[in-house]
Structure formats: C-alpha cells, structure tokens
Amino acid sequence: MRPDTPAEHIAEAERLIRTATRYPEDQEPLLLQAAAHLELADARDRASALYDQLLSSSPADPHLIKALQASNLWEYGHEAEARALISGIRAAGPTDPAPWEVIAEALETHDELEASHDCFTEAATLLITDDPLTPGTTALLTGRHRVRRLLGRPHDDWDMVADTRHTGPIPLDELHDPKRIWALGSDDPAELRAEIARLRAELGDRRAALSRPFPVAILHWPQRELSELLTSYPTLAAEYPSHTTHLSRIEASLRALAASGTTNLGIVTASVPSYEAFAASEKTSPASPSLLAEYATTLAARGKATPWPPTPTTPCWCTSGKPYAECHGAPTDS
C-alpha cells in the first residue's frame, strides 16, 4: 500500500500517529513519517504541529527535525521563522549531512542561490574529511554542483568529484545545466521554462526521499514462528506454501524492488505475539492476509527494519549463519 492521493496521505499519517501512541519508544520515526505524509498532502500546518511536538520531546535528531520544519514553514509563508531555524542549524554545525541538505535545498527552492551555495560549501567543508564519501556527503556535493551550475560558476575540485561519483544515466553536467536548451540552439522561452521545471522536479524528488528515510520492508517469519502462525491461522497458508519458499520469495521480492529502482530496502522480522497484538490494535483478525503488509509497514515505520542487501561476507538475513554471498545472496538463488 503506497499512498498517492492527498486523502490517502492524510489517512496514512493518521494511522501512524495512532501507532505512535501505542509505541511511545518509537514515536520519533513514526511521527517523522507521519509529518512527511502530511507535507505530501499539503497539510503543512498539521506537519508543523507534529515537528513542534517532536522538538519538545528531546528527539534523537533535533537538527534534522528543525531543518524539515524550516523547509515546511517556508513553504506556507512563515519565512522569518524558517530563516531563524536555518541560521540556528548553520551555527550549530551538525555532523550529519541530512539537515544541511534540507536547509540548503530550502534556500535553493526560494531562489536564494548564493545562500544555498554557501550552505552546501559550509557543510562540505565541515563534513568531508579524509574518509571516503558516504551517500550523505555525496548528496551534498551533488546539490552544490547543481547550485553552482545554476549560478554559472566554473567547476572546482568538488564539482569534479560530484561528476565522478554520479551514477545516473544522464551526466550531471547535462542534468544540472539550465542553459542546455540554449546551447542546443533553442530560442523558445517555453522550452527553457520546461527545462527549469524539470530541474525543480528532480529537486522535489530528492527532497521527498529525504523526508521519507524509511525503508520499504519485507516481512520475514523465522521457521518456528511461521509454523506457529500457520497452525493458528490456516487461512494464511496460501501466502506461505513452505518456509523455504517464503525465504526465497523474500530475496526475490527485494531483488525485483531493487531492479525497479526502489532504494532503502529492508527486512522486518515477524513474531506471532507481536502480529496478534498488531491485529488487536487494528481491530482486525490475524487470519486476514491483507493485514500482513500493514504489519510490515508498521514495523518498518517503528525503525525495526534491517537494511538489505547485507554485504557478501556478513551472515545472511535468514539466520542460517552462512555468509550472505553463499546463502540467499548467491547469484543462482533468484
């Protein structure tokens, strides 16, 4: 179930807020995801109230929440508050790239390209050391590259790194060049506007991905739990012909999702008591197959997912004890 319309986003946000009251220890990831759904439904005042609620509860990641709040507030006209939050984050200098990226992109979205550029550069100076780049620091260099192209700046060393690290089908210089169409000989302002709209859409996608750092997770039933489940709820046997099939289907589903471009994949481990408690809280029978996907989504939103794929040498997610590459990660197992 992937919400799409504003009404679906609101319904999903409300479900996550209800879930947060049942699992106060997992409130932060649940409410952050709820706020992301409210933003996607354009219910910005409600998202803002959730960010405030999180900030007042000693969150683990206050800078990211403040950054998301700043970006959200600015979207619905609260520019002064947004700017104050952004200044506070810059002064605090968080060591996580995500809040920097959110605030630099908020400035970029509101055409403050010089300030956005300074913000990306401050973050890169602070966070890029001798260690290898992470996905987060690479994203900072990619954002900085985009703003520098918009400003018409020449490439510097970090831009070269951004070009080298970029893995998409279109080279970064082409993707980030708003004058591309002029260079091709077009003198149609409508085409240029379309090009800029496309750049903005790319930025929007990235922003949406950032505010939804929650995995798409597949449910894994350990062998003993699965036999207990099927003994208690025989109607679910159609979903799970055997434990071996269940395990190969998990790997196959994740590979198919990865191949279709879905990132941030994970596996959540199910147990019968937790599944029954979830069914009771949703006032539904555990025998209902449609409940399984909601249970998986809720476990993932509570931060219970293990990222997939494991590295080739780490133990396989199926708990066989064998390295992933020699178990479900083997090329033949698909």
Nearest residue to 309 (alpha-carbon basis) of 261, 270, 248, 254 = 254
327 binds Zn ion (CB under 5 A): yes
Q: Can you say whether residue 303 is alpha, beta or left, with left for phi > 0 and alpha for psi between -120 and 50 degrees?
A: left
Q: Are 220 and 269 in contact (CB under 8 A)?
A: yes
Binding mask 68-107 for Zn ion (x = CB under 5 A): ----------------------------------------
Dihedral sign for Cα 211, 263, 148, 96, please: positive
Residue number, 85 or 150, with CB nearest to Zn ion: 150
Determine if 316 is a binding residue for Zn ion (CB under 5 A).
Answer: yes
* Closer residue to Zn ion (CB): 17 or 316: 316
Q: What is the dihedral of CA 63, 66, 72, 77, to 10 degrees?
A: -140
**Bridge partners, residue 268, by sequence:** 219
Q: Is 265 helix (H, G, I), strand (E, B) or coil?
A: strand
DSSP secondary structure of 236-252: GGGT-S-HHHHHHHHHH
Using CB under 5 A as the binding rule, whether residue 144 contacts Zn ion is answered as no
Query: Which residue lies nearer to Zn ion by CB, 1 or 184?
Result: 184
Q: Packing angle between helix 113-127 and helix 79-92, nearest 10 degrees?
A: 20
30 binds Zn ion (CB under 5 A): no
**One of 14, 26, 163, 239 touching Zn ion (CB under 5 A):** 163
**Segment near Zn ion (CB under 5 A), from 13-21, 218-226, 260-268, 320-328?**
320-328
Among 5, 244, 313, 320, binds Zn ion (CB under 5 A): 320
Total of residues contacting Zn ion (CB under 5 A): 9
Give min distance, CB of 22 to Zn ion, in A: 32
CB-nearer residue toward Zn ion: 26 or 163: 163
Length of the chain (residues):
334
Site for Zn ion in 173-232 (CB under 5 A): 173
**Would you tell me which residues interact with Zn ion (CB under 5 A)?**
159, 163, 172-173, 316, 318, 320, 327-328
